[in-house]
Chain A
Amino acid sequence: MLLTLREVTKTYPGAEAPVLRGVSFDLAAGEMLALTGESGSGKSTLLHLVGGLDTADSGVVAIEGTDLTLLDDADRAALRRGTAGVIFQQFNLIPSLTVAANIAFQARLARRHDPKRAQVLSGRLGLTEHLHKYPEQLSGGQQQRVAIARTLAPQPKLVLADEPTGNLDEATADTVFALLCELVSETGAGLILVTHSERLAGRMRRRLHLRAGQLT
């Protein structure tokens, strides 16, 4: 199993109620899953735990059998570099690097940089003419496509996308969504996509719904 969650709970320091209370599910390699829920229901929190960006209070978050809660800071950083790629709603890119450098960055960190693959990805995502620009010179949709290219370049096993199309208009969102799903399925990675859009969620084969920190 690619990803296993068992009875995961999380409470933010200072907060009274837990954000996640006993979340359990599995995700197989190549499986794509839409995660929906009201604002504040804990979707992003869940994604951060899976991506090794934050740690659960109790329960198990395991990728290929490795429990992330037992990893130290450096190991979690290594996980982020090569195994689980995250795409956020905005500000994914490193402002001081060009588009080309941004796309190559994560793959180079993971020592899996392949110029040919980067070139193919840029081409597929329509970024070829923007490679020498800086992120602030791109539109929102273009920026999200750069983020997708960057996340997929090192061929992660798991792609985590937190409302990657939340800031985009419907048509652009559809294009970006379609590209993401297409490219992820080509690599055979697992995908968890957080979205508010019923329309997009409806196109995914598997759906999970969070309500007040619990899966329903």
Chain B
Amino acid sequence: MNAAIFSALFAHWRCNPLQLITLLAGLAVGTALWSGVQAINAEARASYDAAAATLGEGMYGQITAQDGAPIPQQTYIALRRAGWNVSPIVEGKLGSVRLVGIDPLTAPGGIGPVSVGSGADLAAFLSGAGQIFARADTLLHLPVTGLQGIATPEVAPNTAITDIGLAQRLLGKGDQIDRLLVAPEQPLTRRPLAEVAPDLIETDAQGSNDVARLTDSFHLNLTAFGLLSFAVGLFIVHGAIGLAFEQRRAMVRTLRALGVPLRRLIGLMVVELAVLALVAGVIGVALGYGVAAALLPDVAATLRGLYGADVSGQLALRPVWWLSGLAIAMGGTVVAAAGALWSLARMPLLASAQPRAWAMARRQGRFVAVSLGLLAVAAGIAVWGHGLMAGFILLGALLIGGALALPPLLGLVLRLGEGWARGPVAQWFWADSRQQLPGLSLALMALLLAMAANVGVSTMVSSFRLTFTSFLDQRLASELYVSASTAEQAAAITALAPTRADAVLPILSIDQQIAGLPAEIYGARDHATYRDNWQLLRAVPNAWEALAQGGGVLINEQLFRRAGLDLGAEVTIAPGVSLPVLGIYGDYGNPVGQVIVTEAVFRRQFPAVVALRFGLRINPAQVAALRAGLRDQGGVTDSAMVDQASIKALSLEVFERTFTVTTALNILTLAVAGFAILMSLLTLAAMRLPQLAPVWALGLTRRRLAALDLLRAMVLAALTGALALPLGLALAWALLAVVNVEAFGWRLPMYLFPLDYLRLGGLALLAAALAALWPAWRLSRMPPARLLGVFRHER
């Protein structure tokens, strides 16, 4: 019996290949979207990790010898035995290039292009075959080493990375280690450093890890949008499967009438769907892979991070990745098929075999109720909610509520249009659009989500870029950033630097409880650097002058939010010493509160604190010379000097890449939504004949009908776009102002980009028009006999 049923199920697809293709394509495209976005996300992540990793290695704490001398191999081994999770680094100059030797087995993740996660890389890296990683332009400057040079953008400019053993040999450094990187996670049971190696000192991760934390927030937001794209995919899968079931109602009825038990039929359909989902999933994963490879710049670098491709440029799929893609396809199918199977199971034997796409209109009442409920929940959370979980519920409620609100809202607008319409054709146009709405709603919801995601993504990324750029200007204003490990070194720096630098800005800091919260107090010299580059979120008039005269403090946003210290509030910086808040500045990424006072005030209150960090203002062309001087005469190690100008350039470059990538993401989601519309229109085309034939018979040409169909698709897309804009902005707002604040304690300012939205609207219209073009063309060419068939056959 199973074979007979299967052959009947299969025969349906054979007679309706378009339906089968639609189903497979829907599943595949949904999966591809998910995989592609994952790839794009991973690309953004990898770029940021690379940027953060090359930010003077400031991302990690370090252990160095007090006198800057090399660390013996035995000390390193002793530290590891004592439980320290550290990784050795050797560095030096190879020609004009800074060569860094790392140990990929122990290095904390995200250091350079090689890490334990990427199997194929590592083997070659360790095999002694000798590989050296650098940017393409840096590779050209490397002296001949006999090593295989591999170009990757993930290394800082003018820096090359290789295995520590090779680096030691190339630099002639024997077994010695220059410094140790301290991984962020350390066992609590490790023995104190002073006990294991008393002549070594540990320095904390440096200020530049603010950037790393800032990018954490970006990652969180991108992940959220990855889920959004998954929702778009799910809607498409849902639409494809729902239609496939609607189309086979007649066959199911016949089979049941012939005596096939319902349970067995459903079981076999589940098996059939599973096979189809598997096939489509494989196609989808391959498609997503291809899309990622085609869309992303620096494909090799990107895909190495994602797929564990080997260095020769050949791509190797990581099992986790394609398995998750397949799981999405199967999971999406299950979710989408559950409802369809349920309604099939409850379908009375003698129910109409006619596809019920039109009957779905009756379910709209329920849609409205659910949608209103969800949007009310979202509004409630926006006003009263607390916690990260609430933030995510807010996002979900907005998303689903917004999508479900679309069909009733469109219905309303179309009804209004019908009321306003004057001519008979216009009147029919609106009425017919309304009738077609249920069949198109899933595709339109996918379009809504795609456009909302795009509005959200571009708002978020662009806001982020604006914030990030001005934040970089603020934080990396000094061209060179130097940290001393001892007071003597600091004294050497203060003595040496003024001869070459335009200004030396000592950075004094002390950790202190402020208003009962952990915070740091900074003493800053009164200098134009701060006034010109720091943007205050809010400030009293002449805040900088007042600050310079010791008449108050600046605090960061985190402290303002957590301690509720607004402008004018008194901040107690030391017992008995309170100063009013003059301004609040954005301090993206910092986990703790911060107070800035002027240098004089700081020195008066905390005379014991010695400045160990310095921002040096200098003509960028002089940076290299100053570095050399500080290294040779002041004993400052290279890693303690951060060339901030190149960091800024690198970070901005990374941003531009992310931009390209999000543009690709936008186009991809729109294209997929357009495809969903195409599939729906094609499937509906046959069902629509009874609507069109009478109008044609009454005297409208097929060409006119086709033009009206095209127009209808564009009108629906435009209306959907109009609703997507507020939804996308709400999503962006929820991410920037709610989720981010909950997760990181600061609010990413939101900017609006009307031109971007306009262009997006144009693209959506284009997508809809392209999707409607083929069905419309088919309609304009339809033989009259087919239209007349409507009056001949039983529908």
CB-based contact B699/A91 at 8 Å: no
Answer yes or no: A157 CB below 8 A from chain B CBs: no
CB-based contact B690/A105 at 8 Å: no
Expressed in whole angstroms, the minimum distance between the Cβ of B411 and any Cβ of chain A is 13
CA distance A64 to B549 in the complex (A): 102
CB-based contact A96/B435 at 8 Å: yes
CA distance A95 to B435 in the complex (A): 9
* Residues 34-81 of A contacting B (Cβ, < 8 Å): 44, 48, 51, 53-54, 73-74, 77-81
Answer yes or no: B428 CB below 8 A from chain A CBs: yes
Residues of B close to A101: CB separation below 8 A? 424, 427-428, 431
User: Residue-by-residue, is B682-696 near A (CB-CB < 8 Å gives 1, otherwise 0)?
Assistant: 000000001101111
Answer yes or no: A29 CB below 8 A from chain B CBs: no
User: Residue-by-residue, is B606-646 near A (CB-CB < 8 Å gives 1, otherwise 0)?
Assistant: 00000000000000000000000000000000000000000
Answer yes or no: B423 CB below 8 A from chain A CBs: yes
- Stretch of B9-17, B109-117, B700-708 on the interface side: B700-708
CB-based contact A54/B700 at 8 Å: no
Range, interface on chain B:
20 to 34
- Stretch of A106-114, A125-133, A170-178 on the interface side: A106-114
CA distance A12 to B432 in the complex (A): 31
CB-based contact A109/B790 at 8 Å: no
A78-B699, A80-B699 as given contacts; A97 in contact with B431, CB under 8 Å: yes
User: Residue-by-residue, is A90-120 near B (CB-CB < 8 Å gives 1, otherwise 0)?
Assistant: 1111111100010011101110000000000
CA distance A121 to B783 in the complex (A): 34
* Residues 759-795 of B contacting A (Cβ, < 8 Å): 783-785, 788, 790-792, 795
Task: Pick the contact of B424: A73, A82, A105, A162 (CB < 8 A).
Answer: A105
CB-based contact A77/B701 at 8 Å: yes
Expressed in whole angstroms, the minimum distance between the Cβ of A113 and any Cβ of chain B is 8
Total cross-chain contacts (CB, 8 A): 84
Expressed in whole angstroms, the minimum distance between the Cβ of A73 and any Cβ of chain B is 5
CB-based contact B699/A92 at 8 Å: no
Name the residue on B nearest A97 (C-beta).
B431
Task: Pick the contact of A96: B431, B699, B703, B791 (CB < 8 A).
Answer: B431
A48-B788, A94-B428, A96-B435 as given contacts; A109 in contact with B699, CB under 8 Å: yes
* Residues 5-26 of A contacting B (Cβ, < 8 Å): 12-13
Answer yes or no: A86 CB below 8 A from chain B CBs: yes
Name the residue on A nearest B787 (C-beta).
A53
Name the residue on B nearest A55 (C-beta).
B784
CB-based contact A106/B435 at 8 Å: no
Answer yes or no: A89 CB below 8 A from chain B CBs: yes
* Residues 190-209 of A contacting B (Cβ, < 8 Å): none
Expressed in whole angstroms, the minimum distance between the Cβ of A157 and any Cβ of chain B is 14
Residues of B close to A88: CB separation below 8 A? 697, 791
Residues of A close to B699: CB separation below 8 A? 77-82, 106, 109-110
A interface residues, how many (CB within 8 angstroms): 35
Expressed in whole angstroms, the minimum distance between the Cβ of B788 and any Cβ of chain A is 6
Name the residue on B nearest A151 (C-beta).
B698
User: Residue-by-residue, is B591-613 near A (CB-CB < 8 Å gives 1, otherwise 0)?
Assistant: 00000000000000000000000
* Residues 115-165 of A contacting B (Cβ, < 8 Å): 150, 162
Expressed in whole angstroms, the minimum distance between the Cβ of B418 and any Cβ of chain A is 9
Task: Pick the contact of B691: A80, A82, A96 (CB < 8 A).
Answer: A96
Answer yes or no: B434 CB below 8 A from chain A CBs: yes
A53-B697, A94-B694, A97-B428 as given contacts; A73 in contact with B703, CB under 8 Å: yes
A44-B792, A89-B791, A95-B435 as given contacts; A80 in contact with B425, CB under 8 Å: no
A12-B785, A82-B699 as given contacts; A108 in contact with B791, CB under 8 Å: no
CB-based contact A53/B784 at 8 Å: yes
CB-based contact B698/A91 at 8 Å: no
Name the residue on B nearest A78 (C-beta).
B699
CB-based contact A54/B785 at 8 Å: yes
- Residue of A53, A94, A95 ringed by the most chain B CB atoms within 10 A: A94
CB-based contact A86/B690 at 8 Å: no
A88-B791, A101-B427, A109-B425 as given contacts; A95 in contact with B702, CB under 8 Å: no
* Residues 653-674 of B contacting A (Cβ, < 8 Å): none
CB-based contact A92/B694 at 8 Å: yes
CB-based contact A90/B791 at 8 Å: yes
CB-based contact A108/B424 at 8 Å: yes
CB-based contact A77/B784 at 8 Å: no
Task: Pick the contact of A94: B695, B785, B791, B792 (CB < 8 A).
Answer: B695
Residues of A close to B697: CB separation below 8 A? 51, 53, 80, 86, 88, 92
* Residues 206-224 of B contacting A (Cβ, < 8 Å): none
- Residue of A73, A93, A162 ringed by the most chain B CB atoms within 10 A: A73
Residues of B close to A150: CB separation below 8 A? 698
Name the residue on A nearest B693 (C-beta).
A91
Residues of B close to A86: CB separation below 8 A? 697
Residues of A close to B695: CB separation below 8 A? 94
Name the residue on A nearest B691 (C-beta).
A95
Task: Pick the contact of B698: A54, A80, A162 (CB < 8 A).
Answer: A80
Task: Pick the contact of A109: B432, B698, B792 (CB < 8 A).
Answer: B698
CB-based contact A108/B788 at 8 Å: no
Expressed in whole angstroms, the minimum distance between the Cβ of B410 and any Cβ of chain A is 15
CA distance A187 to B795 in the complex (A): 33
A91-B693, A96-B431, A96-B435 as given contacts; A53 in contact with B795, CB under 8 Å: no
Expressed in whole angstroms, the minimum distance between the Cβ of A43 and any Cβ of chain B is 12
CB-based contact B427/A97 at 8 Å: yes
Residues of B close to A73: CB separation below 8 A? 701-703
A53-B784, A81-B699 as given contacts; A93 in contact with B791, CB under 8 Å: no
| A-B residue pairs in contact (CB < 8 Å), sample of 24 | A12-B785, A13-B783, A48-B788, A54-B784, A74-B703, A77-B701, A80-B698, A80-B699, A88-B697, A90-B791, A92-B791, A94-B695, A95-B690, A95-B691, A96-B435, A97-B427, A97-B428, A101-B431, A105-B698, A106-B698, A108-B424, A109-B424, A109-B700, A162-B791
Interface residues of B (CB under 8 A from A): 423-425, 427-428, 431-432, 434-435, 690-691, 693-704, 783-785, 788, 790-792, 795
What are the 3 A-B residue pairs with the smallest beta carbon separation, nearest first?
A81-B699, A108-B424, A88-B791
8 other A-B residue contacts (CB within 8 Å) besides A51-B697, A82-B699:
A53-B788, A89-B791, A92-B697, A95-B435, A96-B431, A96-B691, A104-B424, A109-B699
